Structure 1
């Protein structure tokens, strides 16, 4: 069993190492689910087999020691060598491979349940949501705000709120569901979203915008024009770069692409039922629904609401819109 446990941990290290260096994409939900099952199996084996066996062996040792003392006492010998208590504790001691499997089950199970149904941490990998979210921000996502979904299967079992315009949402990338993206909801089912000449219009109504001056993007090392934008009840900031063209370059083929009209001024799309139109706040530096299409409801992971850490700037900690 020790060799089996060592092999399992070796596979885990190789998997996580390859994931870290981008050798392959990982499904952390599936990994955590499998770890929960494996450690649960070891926990059951420990509770109902290994621990009772160790206790029987310890009881047998104590019985043998008592019988030996009794026999020696009949022979008039009262001083008996040997520390049976130390031997008993050694027999009862949990082996390392059970300590690293069955012993970790409660912790892994709690993490799995919290991450699956309540809150999940994410790290911002790109600058598509600048200035709202910066590269390196560690955020929390509310997993139950848009309904409760079964882990791994991602099947919704309990309805709750629906995504609203202005929400910052984490979702599984439609072209590769192993990858998580984060963008802002711009269009909900039935909306006609137009982004023409770098101005956003929803159902024929221009979205409120007000200039806020220049913003220096440290990652790109260049200045952008920053605006205050209001989507629904959510007021947030967006960026535009003067030198960037308004039209969309090399849009992909995607489901319901016939709902979109591309021109030299930009793009206009009718959002189909059960789908959402997502855009990054860094408008000229974001690969989003303008390029790869609509996000189906079943891809929604949760609503982002809190920066809980940024190791390079602790002042970033706090809620955001």
Structure 2
């Protein structure tokens, strides 16, 4: 999730509201890895059910529009994803470090069932000089 989060960062996770509120595009969430639910990943929700997504010409497209993503590490996005529609009760997640991220572009993650969302990352609390709200 670099540059948003680094390996030794400590975060506060809201595990309650995810049970009552629908996930939103742009939220940074902790999910259970679908291929092994004992493992957890931190990812950004790029799309929600019903959205159309594709990756082409180094850009992420949401519902036919290229997205300006100021939080990603590299402007170049490896790979290609033909347009797909996010199924009901799922989300499409991407890491901010797109070229090193295992996320919804890969079959072992794919569309993530909303039931696999553990919580929403809300604050970075350590290191102390990096204390901030996660966006």
Q: TM-score scaled by structure 2?
A: 0.91
Note if contact 2:14-2:119 (Cα within 8 Å) is conserved in structure 1: yes
User: Which structure 2 residue ranges, 5 or more long, are not aligned?
Assistant: none
Measure how far apart 1:246 and its partner are.
3.0
Shift of 1:309: 1.6
User: 1:318 and 2:132 equivalent?
Assistant: yes
Write the distance in 1 (CA, Å) between the matches of 2:71 and 2:39: 26
Greater than 2 Å deviation, 4+ residue runs: none
Aligned to 1:277: 92
2: CA distance, partners of 1:246 / 1:282: 11
Residue 78 of structure 2 is matched in structure 1 by 246
Which protein is richer in helix relative to its size?
A: 1
> 1:301-316 residue pairs with structure 2 within 5 A?
301-310=118-127, 314-316=128-130
Say which one has the larger Rg. 1
| Corresponding residue for residue 30 of structure 2 | 170
- Secondary structure of the 1:281 match is coil
| Larger RCO: 1 or 2 (CA < 8 Å, sep 6+) | 2
1:1-321 correspondence runs (5 A) = 129-147=1-19, 160-207=20-67, 209=68, 229=69, 236-240=70-74, 246-247=78-79, 266-267=80-81, 268-291=83-106, 292-310=109-127, 314-321=128-135
Give the Cα separation in 2 of the matches to 1:136 and 1:203: 35
Cα shift at 1:241: 6.4
Unaligned runs of 5+ in 1: 1-128, 148-159, 210-228, 230-235, 248-265
Give the distance between the partners of 2:75 and 2:132, measured in 1 at CA.
Answer: 27
Hey, what does 1:14 align to over in structure 2? Answer: none
**TM-score normalised per structure 1:** 0.40
d(CA) in 2 for partners of 1:146 and 1:288?
A: 20
Structure that is richer in strand per residue: 2
- CA distance, structure 2, for counterparts of residue 288 and residue 191 of structure 1: 17
